[in-house]
């Protein structure tokens, strides 16, 4: 394993259970993996990403809607989106546009193919 | 078409982001899968790794850890269920310790996180006692004939933590850097 990047204490520390990282839903581990992979490829520094993450968490704490539960990985994803946009890796509105296209897929879109037809997005 | 961004779940946004970055060659999904599994498997035992790194760099702490594991581990703030009585086993160049729990799957949670699947597997639990060298070799650790292997069976009273040998070439590494060299498998004794 390489030098650990993740904090153990403080707001930027990911949720853990008995020391293990906890991903409540599959997208959380994909969002996590994206950040780690991009950092490893030199797309941004970890300090830079962490600054975005800390800012997102602070923003949520200041201004979240009444009754909305805190989600660490929601903040993580927002931080990731803003850092890749800042670095010019994606254009403004591009992720929203693509996510909108994905939302238009018919229900069950990813279960229509035969077994073994890889989807590549970790469902 | 106007898209209402509120309709887009984080799962959709993550999928979209992964698609775009993959298309641009900025992310290789196979590399990403490997990172995810590494972190899921190896970041958990970070507490144990800190204990080991401290023992590698601080001889007095090492002595306390080997004499009274539980209280020395507690010094670093790690305590909790299944960590009440931890005995630390020191590997040497001629001695290798490996831990199992033949009756159930007792495991020192506060230092190693949750046990990996194979640790709970009845085949590992039974075979590591009977043929440790063979099982270790199957798991990727081939030990020289002159290295003695000792198998320790955890119980509800005692949990074991292996203190691995400090890797060669890390003489100049700081305690913080050394943490990155310690894996869960080393602390269970299926890696060296």
Q: Sorting pLDDT into bands at 50, 70 and 90, what band is A83?
A: very high
Q: Which residues of B touch A6 (CB under 8 A)?
A: 39, 43
Establish how many alpha carbons lie within 13 A of residue A84's alpha carbon, considering only the half-sphere containing its beta carbon.
28
For residues B61 and B102, state if they share a domain. yes
For residues B70 and B162, state if they share a domain. yes
User: What does the buried/exposed string (b/e) look like for A76-105 if buried means 16 or more CB atoms within 10 Å of the residue's CB?
Assistant: bbbbbbebbeeeebbeeebbbbbbbebbee
Render pLDDT for B78-113 as a digit per residue (tens, 0 to 9): 876 666 788 999 999 999 999 998 876 677 767 776
Q: Look at residue B140 and tell me if it is in a domain.
A: yes
Helix ranges (H only) for chain A are 26-40, 46-63, 72-86, 94-103
pLDDT at B176 over 60: yes
| pLDDT at position A3 | 36
Q: Which two tokens stand for residue B33?
A: 């899968």
Q: How much is the average pLDDT of B142-166?
A: 92
Crossing angle (nearest 10°) for helices B29-42 and B10-23:
130
pLDDT at B121 over 70: yes
Q: Look at residue A7 and tell me if it is in a domain.
A: no
Query: Is B105 labeled as catalytic in the residue annotation?
Result: yes
- Number of structural domains (chain A) is 1
Domain extent for A68: 24-103
Q: Look at residue B55 and tell me if it is in a domain.
A: yes
Contact B10 A20 (CB under 8 A): no
Contact B40 A6 (CB under 8 A): no
CA A63 to chain centre: 20
Q: B184 near B112, Cβ under 8 Å?
A: yes
Residue in this structure with the two tokens 């993996």, named with its chain if needed: A33
pLDDT at B41 over 70: no
Which residues 162-191 of B are in CB contact (within 8 Å) with A? 177, 179-180, 183
CA A47 to chain centre: 16
For residues B33 and B92, state if they share a domain. no
Query: Is B174 labeled as catalytic in the residue annotation?
Result: no
User: What does the buried/exposed string (b/e) look like for A61-73 if buried means 16 or more CB atoms within 10 Å of the residue's CB?
Assistant: eeeeeeeeeebbb
Q: Look at residue B184 and tell me if it is in a domain.
A: yes
- Please tell me whether the overall predicted TM-score, pTM, comes out greater than 0.80 for this model: no
Q: How much is the average pLDDT of B40-61?
A: 86
Q: Look at residue A44 and tell me if it is in a domain.
A: yes
Contact A18 B22 (CB under 8 A): no
Q: Look at residue A119 and tell me if it is in a domain.
A: no
Q: Look at residue B17 and tell me if it is in a domain.
A: yes
Q: Where are the strands (E) in B8-147, listed by range? A: 86-90, 95-100
Q: Is the dihedral of CA B179, B185, B191, B192 positive or negative?
A: positive
Q: Look at residue A52 and tell me if it is in a domain.
A: yes
Q: Look at residue A110 and tell me if it is in a domain.
A: no
Q: How much is the average pLDDT of A49-68?
A: 89
What's the maximum distance between 2 C-alpha atoms anywhere in chain B?
72
B174 is in an annotated binding site: no
Q: Which residues of B touch A101 (CB under 8 A)?
A: 16
Q: How much is the average pLDDT of B105-129?
A: 79
Cβ burial, residue B133 (10 Å; 0-12/13-18/19+): middle
Q: Which residues of B touch A36 (CB under 8 A)?
A: 32, 35-36, 39
Q: Look at residue A13 and tell me if it is in a domain.
A: no
What pairing do the DSSP bridges indicate for beta strands B95-100 and A16-17? Answer: unpaired
| pLDDT at position B4 | 65
Decide if A75 touches B, using CB distance below 8 A. no
Q: A36 near A5, Cβ under 8 Å?
A: yes
- Number of structural domains (chain B) is 2
* Interface test mutation site (partner A, options B10, B48, B111, B119, max chain A beta carbons within 10 A): B10
Q: How much is the average pLDDT of B15-37?
A: 93
- Which of residues A1 and A39 earns the better pLDDT score? A39
Q: Of A20, A112, A73, A52, nearest to B116 (Cα)?
A: A20
Catalytic residue, candidates B71, B104, B156, B174: B104
User: What does the buried/exposed string (b/e) look like for A106-120 if buried means 16 or more CB atoms within 10 Å of the residue's CB?
Assistant: eeeeeeeeeeeeeee
Decide if B77 touches A, using CB distance below 8 A. no
B155 is in an annotated binding site: no
Domain extent for B18: 13-41
pLDDT at A117 over 60: no
Contact A20 B43 (CB under 8 A): yes
Backbone angles phi, psi at B88, to 5 degrees: -100, 130
Q: Look at residue A87 and tell me if it is in a domain.
A: yes
Q: Look at residue B2 and tell me if it is in a domain.
A: no
Q: Look at residue A114 and tell me if it is in a domain.
A: no
Of the candidates A2, A40, A77, which has its C-beta nearest B180's C-beta?
A2
Q: B83 near B73, Cβ under 8 Å?
A: yes
For residues B184 and B131, state if they share a domain. yes
Of the candidates A3, A4, A89, which has its C-beta nearest B26's C-beta?
A89
Q: B147 near B192, Cβ under 8 Å?
A: no
Q: Look at residue B35 and tell me if it is in a domain.
A: yes
Contact B8 A26 (CB under 8 A): no
For residues B110 and B165, state if they share a domain. yes
Contact A102 B21 (CB under 8 A): no
């Amino acid at each position: 394993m390489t030098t650990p990047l993740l904090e153990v204490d403080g707001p930027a520390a990911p949720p853990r259970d008995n020391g293990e990282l906890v991903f409540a839903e599959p997208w959380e581990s994909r969002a996590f993996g994206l950040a780690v992979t991009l950092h490893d490829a030199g797309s941004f520094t970890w300090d830079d990403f962490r600054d975005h993450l800390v800012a997102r968490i602070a923003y949520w704490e200041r201004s979240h809607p009444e009754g909305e539960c805190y989600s660490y990985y929601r903040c993580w994803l927002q931080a990731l989106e803003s850092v890749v946009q800042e670095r010019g890796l994606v254009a403004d509105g591009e992720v929203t546009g693509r996510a909108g296209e994905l939302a238009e897929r018919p229900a069950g879109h990813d279960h229509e193919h035969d077994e073994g037809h890889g989807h590549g997005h970790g469902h | 078409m106007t898209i209402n961004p509120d309709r887009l779940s984080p799962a959709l946004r993550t999928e979209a982001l992964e698609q775009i970055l993959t298309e641009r060659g900025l992310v290789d999904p196979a590399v990403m899968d490997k990172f995810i599994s590494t972190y899921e498997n190896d970041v958990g035992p970070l507490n144990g790794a800190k204990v080991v790194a401290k023992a590698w760099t601080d001889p007095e702490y090492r002595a306390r850890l080997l004499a009274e594991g539980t209280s020395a581990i507690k010094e670093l703030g790690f305590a909790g269920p299944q960590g009440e009585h931890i005995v630390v086993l020191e590997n040497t160049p001629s001695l290798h310790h490996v831990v199992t729990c033949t009756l159930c799957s007792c495991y020192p949670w506060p230092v190693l996180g949750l046990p990996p699947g194979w640790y709970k597997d009845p085949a590992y639990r039974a075979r590591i006692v009977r043929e440790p060298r063979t099982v270790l070799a199957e798991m990727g650790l081939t030990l020289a004939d002159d290295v003695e292997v000792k198998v320790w069976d955890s119980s509800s009273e005692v949990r074991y933590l292996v203190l691995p040998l400090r890797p060669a070439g890390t003489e100049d590494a700081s305690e913080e850097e050394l943490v990155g060299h310690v894996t869960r498998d080393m602390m269970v004794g299926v890696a060296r």
